[in-house]
């Protein structure tokens, strides 16, 4: 699993003109899934996300986690994170998991993140054409790949 985390002061997801997710302060998490991903990847990433100290403390130092600041989160599925651009100019998405594999992992990821944060996590809609809007706070943008955890 690969994620892009963006610390945001505001973020939303709109589908067909309807806003389906909206937060003020927290994390926008883009999630890319491959066939080899497992519950271990989910557990590791959710622990990492909920405890990652990327929010400022009273001294302006990034010392607080999403849990510490009681921030919100939006998770958006994004198969394009698994793109390969090694050959030619057209990205290959062959590594991205097919929907029948990715959908259950996506749902499990959301459930696990909610348990880790002890709060509801907002989402986009798996497979939908989404418009994602955000104000990146900092900016702070971090890429994490569960296959590179060692």
Q: Quick one: 43 exposed, middle or buried, by C-beta within 10 A (0-12, 13-18, 19+)?
A: middle
C-beta of residue 73 within 8 angstroms of C-beta of residue 112 = no
Answer yes or no: 79 catalytic.
yes
Answer yes or no: 78 catalytic.
yes
Cis peptide before 139 (omega within 30 of 0): yes
**94 vs 131: CA distance, rounded Å:** 24
Q: How, if at all, do strands 122-123 and 72-77 pair?
A: parallel
Residue of 6, 78, 82, 123 marked active site: 78
Both tokens assigned to 68: 């510490």
Answer yes or no: 123 catalytic.
no
Q: How, if at all, do strands 131-145 and 55-56 pair?
A: unpaired
Residue of 6, 14, 38, 79 marked active site: 79
Active-site positions read 78-80
């Amino acid at each position: 699993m690969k994620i892009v985390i963006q610390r945001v002061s505001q973020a939303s997801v709109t589908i067909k003109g309807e806003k389906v997710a909206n937060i003020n302060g927290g994390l926008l998490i883009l999630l890319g899934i491959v066939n080899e991903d497992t519950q271990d990847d989910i557990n590791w990433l959710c622990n990492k996300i909920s405890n990652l100290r990327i929010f400022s403390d009273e001294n302006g130092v990034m010392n607080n986690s999403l849990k510490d600041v009681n921030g919100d989160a939006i998770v958006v599925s994004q198969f394009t994170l698994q793109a390969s651009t090694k050959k030619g100019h057209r990205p290959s998405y062959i590594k991205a998991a097919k929907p029948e594999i990715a959908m259950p992992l996506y749902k499990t990821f959301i459930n696990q993140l909610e348990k880790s944060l002890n709060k509801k996590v907002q989402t986009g809609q798996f497979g939908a054409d989404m418009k994602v809007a955000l104000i990146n706070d900092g900016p702070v943008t971090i890429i994490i790949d569960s296959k590179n955890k060692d």
